[in-house]
Amino acid sequence: MSARPGGDENGAVDAGSTRHVARPLGARPLGARPLGGRLGRWLRGGLLVAFLAVLVALPLVAGPFELRLANLVGMYALVVRFGVNPWLSIVAGVLLSLVLAWIIGLVTLRLKGHYLALATLAWGLVITGVLRNWMSVTGGNTGYGSATGNRIPPLSVFGEELRGDRLTFVLVWGCVLVALWMLSNLLGSRVGRAIKSLRTGAIAAASFGVDVQRTKMVTFLIAAALASLAGGLHTYRELFIVPGLAGLNASIDYLIMAVIGGLSSIWGAVAGAGIFVLLKEQLQQVLPRLVGRTGNYEIIAFGFILILVLQYARRGLVPMLDSLLPRLPPRPVKHDAAPLGTRAVDRRTGPLLVLRGVTRSFGGLTAVNDLSFSVERGSVVGLIGPNGAGKTTAFNLITGVLGVDSGTVVFDGVDIGSRPPHRIAALGLARTFQHLNLNPGMSLIENVALGAYARTRSGLLGGLLGLDHAEEESVRAEAVKHLRRVGLTEDPHARADSLPLGKVRLLEVARALMADPVLLLLDEPAAGLRRHEKEDLKALVRRLKADGVTVLLVEHDMDVVMDLVDTVVVMNYGNKLAEGTPAQVRHDPLVIEAYLGREVA
C-alpha cells in the first residue's frame, strides 16, 4: 500500500500500510508453526488489515457519518512516545482519544449532517497538521520507530515478546472478535435501538425519551475508543508510527469501506473492509502496469466505486445480498417474561394538559397565536382545522419539537413549554407521526421496543456485555402484546417496510403505547386509511379510552373526529376559532364558515 499523495498526504502511510513500512526483523514465530500458503498470506496481510480496519469502520454502522475517526487512531502516537509500558500506553491512548473525542464532540455533534461532515474535514486537517509538524514528539512525516533509529518496545506477556504472528492471530483477531461481539450485543439493546433510530428519525427517537445529543456522543466515543485501540495495535504490530495513519486519506478509506459494505449492519462494515483491502491490493498491482508508470491509480477506481455504489446500491452491497444470505431464525419471544413496570392507574379528574396563550412564529409568520385549551383526564380531544391552521405546529409545541415563543404548556402540573422532547416524553406523553417516522429496516418488534426507551433502564455497559437479557425479554414480550393490542397480527419479526400504509400507522400507535403513556397524541392517524381501516382505528381509540388513556387527536377526517371525541378545538390561521362538544362545534357559524360548512351542512 503505497502512500496516496492526495491532498497534503505526501509521504504518508495509511492504516492499510503493510509493505511500505520497514517491518523490523519480520515475524519470528515462537513455538507455533507458521501458517503457510495463500491463506496464511491473506490472514497475515490483507485480511488482517481488513479486520484492523473493521475495528475502525464498525462504529460507522451505528452513528452518523464520521470522517474524523481516523484522526483519533493517531492519538496513541503521543502516548507511545512517553509510555513506559506498552500495555499502559495502549490504554492511555484510548483514554486520550476519549477525552479528545469528547471535546471535539461537544463542539461539533450538534451540527446537521453535512455541516458535521465539513467540520470533520476541518478537524481532520487540523489534527493531522499538528501531528505532522510536532516533530519532537511524532517524528513528523518520516514517523517514529526503529526505521528512524528510535525503538518502540514491543508488547510482552510475562517477559515474552508478543509480536509477528502471535500478536496478529491472538491479540488483534481476539480484539476484533470481542469488538464484533460487543457491538452486535449493543445494536440489539436499548441503547442500540436509540443509536439506530438516530439515523432514520431523530425526532422520533427524542419523542420516546432518547437524549439525542447524548446518544450521538456515546456513539462517537465508542468509535473513538475502537479507532484508538486499532491504532495502538497497529503500532505494536509494525513497531512504527506515521501521522498518515491519522490522515484524511485514511479517513476517506474508512468511508469507502462503509459505503461499499453498507451501514445497516455490522456485516456491512466487515464485508466493506474486506472487499476494500483485497481490491486495493489487486488494483495496486494491475493499474500501474496499465498506465505504465507507478502511482496510486486505484483512487480512480475507488472514486468511481463510491459514486456508483451510491447511485445504484445506496444501502451498500450487504443489504443487496441480504435476501440471498441464510437468515438466522429470530430469537423467540418469551411471553412469560416478567412484565415491565407500568404507571399507577390515575383516577384523578381535572385537566391533564393545559395550553395558555401559546404563541409561536416563524419569521414574520405567526403559526400559532395565543392558543389556549385544555385536555381533561380520560377524555378524547380533537384538534381540527383547515390546512395551514397551525395544528401540527401546536402538536410540535406540546411535544417539545418546537419551543414556544410565549405562553405556557402545562402537562400534569409541570410546565413543559421549553423542555426538550426527550424530557417531555419521560413524563408520560407519547405521540405518533403524520409523516411516518419508523425505521424501515428494523423489525416490527424492534420498532415498537423503541417506545419503551423511557420506561427501561439498561445502560451502555449492559448493552455492550449483553447483561440486559432479563429486561430485553420483558420488552420483547410487551412489544408483541402491544402489536396484538392494536390489531397487528403479522409476524413480529418482519421488517417494518413490509407492511402496507394502513398497518404502518397502527405500528406507530403500538410504539406510542409501548411508552405506557398518560397522554397519547395522534397526528392524523386516519390519513390514507381505507374505510374498514378507519373503523378499526376508531374501535382502537375507544378501547384505549376505556383503558384510561387520554387522547389528543389531530385529524382531517370529520367522520373519524366527530365520532370519537368528547370535545373539539377548531383552529384557523393559527387562532382558536371554537371549542366545545362535536354538536356545539357543528352548529357554530364561525366554524361552518371557515371549514365545516361544506362537509356538514
Partner 1 sequence: MLDIPLILFFEGLTNGAIYALMALGIVVLYSVTGVINVAQGEFVMLAALSVASLRAGQVPGIVYLVVAGLVLWAVYDVIGKLRHGQPLRALWAGLAPLVAAAAAYLIVVLAARASLPYVAVIVIAILLTTALGPICYRVIIQPLPRASVLVFLIMTIGLHLALTGFGLAFWGPQPYTIPPFQQGGVRFGSVFLDGQDLWLFGVSAVLLAALWYFFSRTLWGKALRAAAVNRLGARLSGISVVRAGSVAFTLSVFLSAVAGVLITPITKMVYDFGFMLGLKGFVGAIIGGLANPAIAVLGALFVGVAEQFSAFYVSSAYKDVLVFLLIIPVLLMRSLKHLDFEEHVE
Cα separation of 276 and 52, whole Å? Answer: 12
Q: 2 or 146, CB closer to partner 1?
A: 2
Is 110 near partner 1 (CB under 8 A)? Answer: yes
Is 6 near partner 1 (CB under 8 A)? Answer: yes
Whose CA is closest to 131, among 226, 245, 13? 245
Whose CA is closest to 556, among 389, 386, 325, 408? 386
- Which residue has 461537544 as its cell numbers? 106
Q: 64 or 164, CB closer to partner 1?
A: 64
Q: Are strands 429-431 and 519-523 parallel, antiparallel or unpaired?
A: parallel
Q: Is the CB of residue 561 less than 8 Å from the CB of residue 586?
A: no
Judged by CB under 8 A, the stretch of 2-10, 45-53, 237-245, 466-474 that binds partner 1 is 2-10
Interface with partner 1 (CB under 8 A), residue from 114, 327, 532, 598: 114
DSSP labels, 427-440: TTEEE--SS----T
Is 306 near partner 1 (CB under 8 A)? Answer: yes
Q: Are strands 414-415 and 351-362 parallel, antiparallel or unpaired?
A: unpaired
The least distance separating partner 1 from the CB of residue 122, rounded to whole angstroms, comes to 4
Is 291 near partner 1 (CB under 8 A)? Answer: yes
DSSP labels, 222-284: HHHHHHHHHHHHHHHHHTEE-GGGGSHHHHHHHHHHHHHH-SSSHHHHHHHHHHHHHHHHHHH
Q: 125 or 426, CB closer to partner 1?
A: 125
Interface with partner 1 (CB under 8 A), residue from 143, 274, 400, 428: 400
Interface with partner 1 (CB under 8 A), residue from 310, 470, 539, 590: 310
Is 302 near partner 1 (CB under 8 A)? Answer: yes
Cα–chain-centroid distance for residue 522?
A: 25
Q: Is the CB of residue 564 less than 8 Å from the CB of residue 520?
A: no
Element (H, E) at 186: helix 173-187
The least distance separating partner 1 from the CB of residue 283, rounded to whole angstroms, comes to 11
- Which residue has 505504465 as its cell numbers? 292
* 243 contact partners, CB below 8 Å, separation of at least 6: 12, 74, 77, 128, 131, 132, 138, 140, 141, 143
Q: Is the CB of residue 265 less than 8 Å from the CB of residue 93?
A: no
Cα–chain-centroid distance for residue 96?
A: 24
Q: 364 or 589, CB closer to partner 1?
A: 364
Residue type, 573: Y
Is 122 near partner 1 (CB under 8 A)? Answer: yes
Judged by CB under 8 A, the stretch of 227-235, 288-296, 450-458, 460-468 that binds partner 1 is 288-296
Interface with partner 1 (CB under 8 A), residue from 15, 69, 252, 526: 252
Whose CA is closest to 541, among 527, 571, 570, 520? 520
Is 5 near partner 1 (CB under 8 A)? Answer: yes
Q: Is the CB of residue 436 less than 8 Å from the CB of residue 524?
A: no
Q: Looking at residues 33 to 72 of the shown chain, list those that interact with partner 1 (rule: CB under 8 A).
A: 64-65
Whose CA is closest to 67, among 268, 249, 304, 301? 249
Q: Looking at residues 195 to 214 of the shown chain, list those that interact with partner 1 (rule: CB under 8 A).
A: 198-203, 206, 212
Interface with partner 1 (CB under 8 A), residue from 51, 123, 254, 373: 123
Q: 66 or 471, CB closer to partner 1?
A: 66
Burial 576-587 (b: 16+ CB within 10 A, else e): bbbbeebeebbe
Q: 298 or 446, CB closer to partner 1?
A: 298
Judged by CB under 8 A, the stretch of 125-133, 239-247, 500-508, 593-601 that binds partner 1 is 125-133
The least distance separating partner 1 from the CB of residue 291, rounded to whole angstroms, comes to 5
The least distance separating partner 1 from the CB of residue 428, rounded to whole angstroms, comes to 19
Q: Looking at residues 324 to 363 of the shown chain, list those that interact with partner 1 (rule: CB under 8 A).
A: none
The least distance separating partner 1 from the CB of residue 594, rounded to whole angstroms, comes to 26
Interface with partner 1 (CB under 8 A), residue from 403, 440, 528, 548: 403
Residue type, 207: S
Is 305 near partner 1 (CB under 8 A)? Answer: yes
Is 286 near partner 1 (CB under 8 A)? Answer: no
Judged by CB under 8 A, the stretch of 107-115, 467-475, 501-509, 586-594 that binds partner 1 is 107-115
Is 304 near partner 1 (CB under 8 A)? Answer: yes
Judged by CB under 8 A, the stretch of 293-301, 328-336, 383-391, 444-452 that binds partner 1 is 293-301
Cell matching residue 352: 391533564
For CA atoms 213, 218, 223, 227, give the dihedral sign.
Answer: positive
Q: 107 or 590, CB closer to partner 1?
A: 107
Is 408 near partner 1 (CB under 8 A)? Answer: no
For residue 329, the cross-strand partners are none
Over the window 257 to 276, marking each residue x when it contacts partner 1 by CB under 8 A and - when it does not, the resulting string is: --x-----------------
Is 317 near partner 1 (CB under 8 A)? Answer: no
Cα separation of 418 and 5, whole Å? Answer: 51
Is 307 near partner 1 (CB under 8 A)? Answer: yes
Is 108 near partner 1 (CB under 8 A)? Answer: yes
Interface with partner 1 (CB under 8 A), residue from 299, 367, 452, 544: 299
Q: 302 or 373, CB closer to partner 1?
A: 302
**In angstroms, what is the C-alpha Rg of the chain?**
29
The least distance separating partner 1 from the CB of residue 114, rounded to whole angstroms, comes to 4
Q: 315 or 391, CB closer to partner 1?
A: 315
Is 435 near partner 1 (CB under 8 A)? Answer: no
Cell matching residue 529: 386509511
The least distance separating partner 1 from the CB of residue 445, rounded to whole angstroms, comes to 23
**Count of residues that bind partner 1 according to CB under 8 A:** 61
Whose CA is closest to 209, among 456, 12, 382, 574? 456
For residue 384, the cross-strand partners are 570
* Sites of contact with partner 1 (CB under 8 A): 5-8, 64-65, 107-108, 110-115, 117-119, 121-123, 125-126, 129-130, 132-133, 198-203, 206, 212, 252, 255, 259, 291, 293, 295-307, 310-311, 314, 400-403, 420-421
